A and B are shown apart, each in its own frame.
Chain A
Amino acid sequence: MGMFEAILLTVATAATPLLIAAMGELVVERSGVLNLGVEGMMIMGAVAGFGVAQMTGSAWLGMLAAILAGAAFSLLFGFLTLTLVTNQVATGLALTLLGLGASAMIGESFVGLPGVRMQSLNIPFLSDLPVVGKLLFGQDPIFYISILLTIGVTWFLFRTRAGLTLRAVGDNHTSAHALGVRVVRVRYLAVMFGGACAGLAGAQLSLVYVPQWVENMTSGRGWIALALVVFASWRPWRILAGAYLFGAVTIGQLHAQALGIGIPSQFMSSLPYLATIIVLVLISRNKRLTLMNTPTSLGKPFVPDR
C-alpha cells in the first residue's frame, strides 16, 4: 500500500463521522429547527454502539443500536422544543451536556474493554486494484453509507415532494401551516433523522475510527459538524467537500509534522479549522444563492393556531 493511498484512507476515516453528523443536522436545520445537541447524540450513539457490539459480538447490531439510541435521544429534544416549545439553543446545549454525562455513566463498565471492529469490505480482485482498490472497494461499511447518505439527502431535499415540504416548513412555517402541512410532525421526523445520523456517526467512532469506549471520545466532533452545516450554507455537497477538506488538512498537518517541517505545531493544529472556514466562506460568496438556501424559520418556535 503506497503512502498516498494510506493517507487517503485515513482522511476518509477522519471525514466520515463529520459528514454523517452534519448531513443529519442539515436536514434538521432545513426544517427550521436548530439542534445544538449533535455532540450529545453522537456520544450516545458511540456508547450504545460499543456496548451492544461488545455484548453481542456483532458490529452491525452495534451500529443499529447506535442509530436507534441517537434517534431516541433526539426525541427528548423534539418533545421539549416542538411540543413544549422551549428555547432551542438552550435545549440543544442541555442535550449535549446530558449526553456527555449520561454516556459516561452508561459506559463506565465498558472502559478498558477491547472493542469490536467493523470489518472492512473485501471484494476479491477489486479490493486489490492498485491505488483506487482499497479506497473504492476496501473500506468499512459506514464509509459507503455516508456517501449514499449524501446522494440520498440531496435527492430527497431537491427532487421529492416530501423534501419540498420539509424545506417549505423551514422557510416559512406559518405559510406551510396555512397550506395544511403538519409542521410539528415534519419537524419531529427531521429531528429524529438528525438524531439517527448523529448516532451513526458516533458508531463510526467507537466501531471503526477507534474501536474502544472512553468518556468524551467525540472530543468536539459534533461541534465541528454543526459548524460545517452553516459554513456549507445548508447544501449537501458542500458539506461533503467541507468534511473531506477538514479531514485532509487534519491528516496533512500530522504528516507535515512527522516530516519535521519546522512550522509551529500550534499553528498546524488550527489549520484544519482555518482552511475549512476560508474555503467554505469563499464558495458561499454569492449572497443571493446563500440567502436562498438559508432556512428562514431556523430556530424560531412554532405553535399551531389550530
Chain B
Amino acid sequence: MKKLLMALTMAASFAVAGSAHSAEKLKVGFIYIGPPGDFGWTYQHDQGRKEMEKALGDKVETTFLESVPEGADAERSIERLARAGNTLIFTTSFGYMDATIKVAQKFPKVKFEHATGYKTADNVAVYNSRFYEGRYVQGVIAAKMSKAGVAGYIGSFPIPEVVQGINSFMLGAQSVNPNFKVKVIWANSWFDPGKEADAAKALVDQGVDIITQHTDSTAPMQVAAERKIKAFGQASDMIKFGPETQLTSIVDNWGPYYIERAKAVLDGTWKTHNVFHGMHENLVVMAPYTNMPDDVKKLAEETQAKITSGALKPFTGPIKKQDGSEWLKAGETADDKTILSMNFYVAGVDDKLPQ
C-alpha cells in the first residue's frame, strides 16, 4: 500500500513538473509580511503581483503566502514555495533576509529576490526603494503646514529603512524651518491597528499637529481625521480614510520591477543585482498633494521634481548627527552604503534611537 502511494505521488509530481514544462509557465512565488488587505505595504506588493499577472498573462502563474512572521517560520515558508516548483520567489520584508539566503543555498536553480535587504548571492538579488526621497518631500510639506512646529512620527522597528525616513523627513522639514521638531514613537510592530491608533492619539495629546507613519495600517490616518489634524499616508494612497486629512502619501509602485524581473527569467537574462530605485525610476510615487494651499503644493512639486532629476539629494551636507558631531561636510552626499546601514539620527530629532 505504502509503495503504491509513493509511486502515485511520484507519478503525480512528475506529471505536474511535466505539464509546467510543456506550457513554459513561469511559477512566481511571493512571501508577504502582512495580509494583502492591510491597505499599506503588503497591499502594494500584491498590486505589483497582480500587475505582473496582467502584463504577462498566461506566461506566469503566481502564488503568495501571507502574514509570514520574520523568523523561523519564514525559512519554512520560503522553502515551501521553492519545493512547490516556483522558480522566481520574491520575499518582501527586511526580516526575511537571512532566511532567503539560507533557502537560496539549498535551491541553486531557483531565483530569489529580497526586498529592502543588503545580502546578495548568485541566485539572490536585492531590490530596495528610496522611500526616504518621498519622506523629504513630506518633511517640506510638514514644516509648511504645521502651526505647532512639531510632527509626530510612528515608527515600526529601528532598522535602517525606517531611520532613513525619519532623518530625511527631518532634513526636509529643517530646509523650511530650522527649528522644526519631530516626536517619534516606536510601535515595535509593522501591523497592529489598535496600537498604531493609540500611538497616534498619544502624539496628538502631546501637541503634534501633523502625523506621519512607518507602520502599515490606516489607523493613524483615521485618528488624525478624527482629531482634525493633517497626516501622511504610508505605502498606498490612503485618501479614503482621511479625505480632508491626507496631505500626500508615498505610494510603492512595485509592478514595473516585478514585470521586468519575471521577463528576465523568461528570456534567460536574469542576473543577481542590488538595486536601489527611487523617484527617478518611478518606484517611489507620490499620491496627489491634497488639503494644502497652492504655494505649499507648488513647493512640494518643485522638491519632487528636483529629487526626480537628481538635482536634490536629501542626504547632502552640511548635516550634523544628533550628538552634534559632523556627519557630512557642506556639499558632500552620503553614499548608498551609509544610507543602507543608517543607525543614527540627524540633529533635531527629539528621540533616542533604540540600539
A interface residues, Cβ below 8 angstroms from B: 3, 6-7, 10, 14, 104, 107-108, 111-114, 205, 209-212, 214-217, 219, 221, 250-251, 254-255, 257-262, 264-266, 268-269
A6 to chain B, nearest CB (A): 4
Sample of 12 more A-B contacts, CB < 8 Å, known A214-B217, A219-B193: A14-B194, A111-B39, A212-B222, A215-B38, A216-B35, A216-B67, A251-B198, A254-B199, A257-B185, A258-B206, A265-B188, A269-B187
B195 touches A257 (CB 8 A): no
B355 touches A260 (CB 8 A): no
Complex A-B, nearest 10 residue pairs according to Cβ-Cβ distance, in ascending order: A262-B352, A215-B35, A265-B186, A111-B37, A269-B188, A254-B202, A219-B192, A6-B205, A210-B193, A264-B354
A114 touches B192 (CB 8 A): no
Q: In the assembled complex, which residues on chain B have CB atoms less than 8 Å from the CB atom of A254? A: 185, 198-199, 202
A258 touches B198 (CB 8 A): no
Bound Cα distance A7, B199 (Å)? 11
- Per-residue CB contact flags for chain B residues 159-190 toward chain A (1 = under 8 Å, else 0) read 00000000000000000000000011111110
Q: In the assembled complex, which residues on chain A have CB atoms less than 8 Å from the CB atom of B355? A: 264
B32 to chain A, nearest CB (A): 11
A212 touches B352 (CB 8 A): no
B144 to chain A, nearest CB (A): 22
Bound Cα distance A100, B219 (Å)? 19
Q: In the assembled complex, which residues on chain A have CB atoms less than 8 Å from the CB atom of B89? A: none
Can you name 22 A-B pairs with beta carbons within 8 Å? A3-B206, A14-B194, A104-B35, A114-B241, A210-B193, A212-B218, A212-B219, A212-B222, A214-B37, A215-B35, A216-B35, A219-B195, A221-B194, A255-B205, A255-B206, A257-B186, A258-B184, A258-B202, A259-B206, A264-B355, A265-B188, A269-B188
Bound Cα distance A8, B158 (Å)? 28
B interface residues, Cβ below 8 angstroms from A: 34-35, 37-39, 67, 152, 158, 183-189, 191-195, 197-199, 201-203, 205-206, 217-219, 222, 240-241, 350-352, 354-355
Bound Cα distance A215, B218 (Å)? 12
Q: Which chain A residue lies CB-closest to B35?
A: A215
B39 interface neighbour in A14, A112, A211, A269, Cβ under 8 Å: A112
